[in-house]
Amino acid sequence: MTLTFDFSNRKALVTGASSGIGQAVATQLARSGAAVTAVGRNPEALHELAAETGCTPKVLDVSDPQALDQAFAELPAFDLVVNCAGIALLEPALELMAQSFDAVMAVNARAAALVAARCGKAMAAAGVRGSIVNVSSQAALVALDDHLCYCASKAALDAITRSLCLEFGPHGIRVNSVNPTVTLTPMAEQAWADPAKSAAAIAGIPLGHFARVEEVVAPILFLLSEGASMISGASLPVDGGYTIA
């Protein structure tokens, strides 16, 4: 994929940057000229990312509201924000545990809302006409076995995106989400290595394959860019057509 973006002189924040899609987004933003603050819980991974890309590492558990507020008191106003931090705790609905539901919602929905709120407030005060992208999931749009908590959290994230769009729009701040299918990060490649397991899931994707990481990163960068200057409040499926049914 040869798409290029120019984010020179832009300050960017990426959560969930320790691995997977978040790490890839932080890397590509840095390569595209942005000054990136990379947030995550794995200090070793963040410092390795910083050494490779020049990102500024920020070790932070975004599910801790007090730590989040303390961190944002020290951070600048950003032009670009990507909420990519997320967790999944899978269990059958008949065995749903309150602590599982609360833990997933705390990271996938509440933390994203708080990060966006803190960033949006700083943007508005600084007169920054910025862009925020929330990394949601196809699970926000369709039901998946054993994913009740995850589906609920990502549906909430899409609703958060729409609410932020409405309230941030008058400040010139755009807010969108992307909703990828299974994306072949190293962890996902291991989880879906069994052909019998992956075949059933791929059978439901009209394009016939899971998403490569770069196929998710590119739409995120597009939504951050001026090419998407009139797009806000959208939830963009990046799923090969999985959610058409």
Catalytic residue among 11, 58, 121, 150: 150
Sheet holding 235-238, edge to edge: 56-59, 35-40, 11-14, 80-83, 131-135, 174-180, 235-238
Find the helix or strand (DSSP H, E) in which 165 lies: helix 148-168
- Catalytic residue check, 154: yes
Find out whether 140 and 123 touch, Cβ atoms under 8 Å: no
Max intra-chain CA distance, the chain: 53
140 three-class SS: helix
The alpha carbon of residue 84 and the mean position of all alpha carbons in its chain are separated, in whole angstroms, by 3
- Catalytic residue check, 242: no
Alpha-carbon gap, residue 179 to 219, rounded angstroms:
10
Alpha-carbon gap, residue 231 to 139, rounded angstroms:
22
The residues annotated with a catalytic role in the active site are: 150, 154
